[in-house]
Amino acid sequence: MSVSTTSGTVDLRGRTALVTGAAGGIGQACALRLAASGATVRAADRDADGLARLAARAAGTPGLSGRVESCPLDLTDLDAAEAAAHGADILVNNAGLQLVRPIEEFPPETFSTVLTVMLEAPFRLIRGALPHMYGQGWGRIVNVSSVHGLRASAYKSAYVAAKHGLEGLSKVAALEGAARGVTSNCVSPGYVRTPLVERQIADQAAAHGIPAERVVSDLLLADTALKRLVEPEEVAEAVAYLCGPHTSFVTGTTLTMDGGWTAH
Ligand code: NAD
């Protein structure tokens, strides 16, 4: 096989990409980034208003060579999730939710929902996408994990368990897909500037009685060498890179974007 040595441009014209959690921060950035490379993006989310805002934003973005289609979907409906992935060339497992609570106070039903949305649904989405990917000998699975797929933090039992599971699932998909043109990788960021983190900052500021800026500097970024939040567009660029021309030998791995957190 030949690999282009002249250009790192990611050309996804003719490709269909399913991005889950696309109404929100990282997913929205991924949908716009992949559409900018020419993909037809199925933007899946349970937030129909957010999907409408994304569609309007995509329509108003100059130079978008692909397009964004709204796909309202609640991932707790696992059969619907699997069906939504049929025919996708690229699958970005991104949807997620968080609850910060000590284990002894953590509601079991919330633990179950987090595992369903963030681990079981990705399994079903991969399962739904693979027959088409295998049939054409090309597919890209990118799992938006987290530094919490590699490290634990107190009070995040469900989230940490789901993300560690997702890292494992991603590696299994890589091994099974290797001979059939399908790569599977994780992108694992530290704290990203999204609504999910804005909510955590507000909660922790109230809980500790300190200003939001101190929550970021003293709590969230305590273990991070680079003292800033990651931007959603930086994560989206990593996702696009893993779908591009120079990463067909990259599989079963994790692209960690944690500002040095796991270097400790
Ligand atoms: P976000 O809250 O901005 O977006 C998450 C999206 O998932 C929302 O649009 C929400 O509607 C959707 N979603 C949640 N439950 C769903 C369900 N049942 N069915 C369909 N859609 C559902 O969050 P984000 O920060 O953009 O997070 C995106 C991903 O990135 C998550 O997997 C998260 O764990 C991961 N991540 C985030 C950060 C961060 O600091 N923000 C860091 C590391 C990893």
Residue 50 in domain: yes
State which amino acid sits at residue 193. R
* Candidate of 45, 119, 170 to mutate for ligand 1, largest count of ligand atoms within 8 Å of Cβ: 45
The model's confidence at residue 4, banded by pLDDT at 50, 70 and 90, is low
The pTM assigned to this predicted structure is 0.96
Q: What is the pLDDT of residues 77-122, one digit of tens each?
A: 999 999 999 999 999 999 999 999 999 999 999 999 999 999 999 9
* Candidate of 82, 97, 204, 257 to mutate for ligand 1, largest count of ligand atoms within 8 Å of Cβ: 97
Structural domain of 30: 16-258
**Measured between alpha carbons, how far is residue 55 from residues 11, 120, 145 in Å?**
21, 27, 25
Residue 156 in domain: yes
Residue 200 in domain: yes
Residue 132 in domain: yes
**Number of domains the chain is built from:** 1
Residue 247 in domain: yes
Catalytic residues: 159
* Residue 205 pLDDT greater than 70, yes or no: yes
Q: How far apart, in whole angstroms, are the C-alpha atoms of residue 48 and residue 210?
A: 34
Residue 80 in domain: yes
Residues 6+ apart with CB under 8 A from 58: 31, 32, 35, 64, 67, 68
Residue 7 in domain: no
Q: What CATH number does the domain containing 39 carry?
A: 3.40.50.720
Residue 5 in domain: no
Q: What is the pLDDT of residues 219-255, one digit of tens each?
A: 899 989 999 999 999 999 999 999 999 999 999 999 9
Q: How far is the CA of 116 from the centre of ligand 1 (A)?
A: 13
